[in-house]
């Protein structure tokens, strides 16, 4: 059986296909009575007709897509949660999220020209040429904190610094004055780790403590145990560890068990991300939550405001870094 078309809606409504198109695409500047508009909408709903995305794109010059450009990052719980919440927020306005991982050498312009997005969100800075071309094409371009080009790589991210500072503050408040940093082995996240480590360094310096000792820790108990062996040597052993994220922190907890070290009595540990496994760890992991729901709502608000889908008094305000210390048993 053939699908319902705009011609069927037009025939049932007693109007032209052009009128059906104007009503269903929300065309402005066209004089259509409220009675006609109501009749077309009711008929469309009764028949189960919806204009195709391709047809809408041809008429408006834009698809119903919000294009998210991700660098070659590992996709952990933070990014997954952010994208899920962003998709939920924009879906209420009939938009969908398309995620692209920027791997290989395909020019970005080939992608956005093919999908004609309503908006593009960059999780890392765009090249000047790409940014200029998208703006000239009338595409709304946003960074993950609302700025047009994404974070500036030449200076530390304030939110990442804050993560490290919160980790160190909790360790110091727990009486741990010899602190180490568990560095990730995945080179793709080194710029995040560097900023978080800088936050730990600054907090230690502010309290007159030694520089944090830094070692790479793989996601294996043996790797963590090897790092702990080094950290615990000598007369002034490490007693507090700030881990790059919860995965690394869980490896540290496993390494502590191999050494028979009590957590947090002998060594306290603080992770990042508040991953689901954090609350199931032994002991439950103290961590930093990044309040991803607030960030997703803010990004969605920026997209909708840029498309004219929000009133001025609904314009989103940046929620801040949203970092929250979640205290559990490990520190």
Q: What would the mean pLDDT of 212-219 be, rounded to a whole number?
A: 97
Distances (CA, A) of 302 to 22, 67, 69, 198, 314: 27, 14, 16, 30, 10
Q: Determine the pLDDT at residue 150.
A: 47
For 293-314, give the DSSP string.
HHHHHHHHHHHHHHTT-S-GGG
Q: Is the pLDDT of residue 5 over 80?
A: no
Question: Which residues pair with residue 270 across a beta bridge?
Answer: 242, 286
Which range is most confident: 85-94, 147-156, 274-283?
A: 274-283
To the nearest whole number, what is the mean pLDDT of the chain? 84
pLDDT score recorded for residue 50: 65
Stretch (H or E) spanning 289: strand 287-289
Asked if the model's pLDDT at residue 59 lies above 70, the reply is: no
CATH architecture of 158-289: 3-Layer(aba) Sandwich (3.40)
Predicted confidence at residue 128, as pLDDT, reads 83
Beta-carbon neighbour count of residue 42 at 10 Å?
Answer: 12
CA-nearest of 262, 278, 244 to 160 is 244
CB 291 within 8 A of CB 319: yes
Residue 93 — very low, low, confident or very high, per pLDDT cuts 50/70/90? confident
DSSP letter assigned to residue 212: P
Answer with the residue of higher pLDDT: 151 or 25: 25
* pLDDT on residue 88: 86
**Which pLDDT belongs to residue 320?**
64
The two domains 6-51 and 158-289 share their CATH topology (first three levels equal): no
What class is the 6-51 domain?
A: mainly alpha
Give the model confidence (pLDDT) of 105-128 as tens digits: 777 788 888 888 888 888 878 888
Of 246, 285, 288, 234, the C-alpha closest to 263 is: 285
- The mean pLDDT of 52-67, rounded to a whole number, is 60
Looking at the predicted structure, is the pLDDT value of residue 1 above 50?
no
Which is more confidently placed, 314 or 257? 257
E-strand spans in 102-236? Answer: 119-122, 140-143, 179-183, 213-216
Instruction: Give whole-number Cα distances, 260 to 218, 267, 328, in Å.
Output: 20, 11, 20
> What pLDDT, on the 0 to 100 scale, is given for residue 148?
46
Class of domain 65-154+294-319: alpha beta
| Average of per-residue pLDDT across 208-224 | 97
% of the chain beyond a pLDDT of 70: 84
Q: So what's the pLDDT on residue 165?
A: 97
Residue 147 has pLDDT above 60, yes or no: no
Q: Each residue of 150-194: pLDDT tens digit?
A: 444 556 678 899 999 999 999 999 999 999 999 999 998 998 999
Check whether 271 has a pLDDT greater than 50.
Answer: yes
pLDDT higher than 60, residue 145: no
* Statement: residue 219 has pLDDT above 90: yes
Overall residue count recorded for the chain in this entry: 331
CA distance 288 to 266: 21
Q: DSSP readout, 23-44?
A: HHTT-SS----HHHHHHHHHHH
Domain ranges of the chain: 6-51, 65-154+294-319, 158-289
pLDDT tens digits for range 277-324 = 999 999 999 999 987 888 888 888 888 777 665 545 456 666 666 788
pTM comes to 0.73
pLDDT of residue 272: 96
Rounded to an integer, the average pLDDT of 241-251 is 98
Report, as an integer, the average pLDDT of 16-26: 75
Q: Which of the pair, 221 or 314, is modelled with greater confidence?
A: 221
């Amino acid at each position: 059986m053939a699908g319902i078309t705009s011609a069927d809606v037009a025939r049932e409504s007693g109007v032209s296909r052009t009128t059906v198109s104007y009503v269903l695409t929300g065309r402005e500047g066209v004089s259509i009575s409220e009675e006609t508009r109501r009749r077309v909408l009711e008929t469309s709903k009764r028949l189960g007709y919806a204009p195709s995305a391709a047809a809408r794109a041809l008429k408006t010059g834009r698809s119903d897509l919000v294009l998210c450009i991700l660098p070659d990052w590992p996709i952990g719980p933070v990014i997954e949660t952010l994208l899920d919440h962003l998709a939920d927020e924009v879906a209420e306005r009939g938009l969908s999220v398309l995620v692209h991982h920027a791997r290989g050498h395909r020019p970005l312009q080939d992608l956005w020209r093919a999908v004609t997005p309503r908006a593009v969100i960059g999780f890392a800075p765009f090249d000047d040429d790409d940014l200029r071309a998208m703006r000239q094409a009338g595409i709304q371009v946003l960074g993950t904190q609302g700025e047009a080009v994404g974070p500036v790589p030449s200076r530390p991210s304030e939110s990442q610094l804050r993560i490290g500072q919160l980790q160190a503050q909790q360790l110091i408040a727990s009486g741990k004055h010899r602190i180490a940093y568990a560095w990730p082995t995945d080179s793709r996240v080194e710029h995040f780790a560097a900023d978080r480590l800088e936050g730990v360094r600054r907090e230690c310096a502010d309290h007159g403590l030694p520089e944090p000792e830094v070692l790479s820790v793989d996601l294996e108990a043996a790797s963590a145990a090897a790092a702990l062996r080094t950290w615990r040597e000598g007369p002034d052993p490490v007693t507090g560890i700030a881990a790059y994220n919860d995965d690394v922190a869980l490896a540290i907890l496993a390494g502590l068990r191999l050494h028979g070290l009590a957590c947090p009595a002998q060594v306290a540990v603080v992770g990042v991300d508040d991953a689901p496994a954090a609350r199931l760890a032994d002991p439950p992991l103290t961590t930093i939550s990044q309040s991803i729901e607030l960030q997703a709502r803010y990004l969605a608000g920026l997209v909708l405001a840029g498309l004219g889908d929000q009133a001025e008094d609904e314009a989103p305000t940046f929620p801040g870094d949203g970092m929250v210390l979640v205290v559990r048993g490990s520190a």
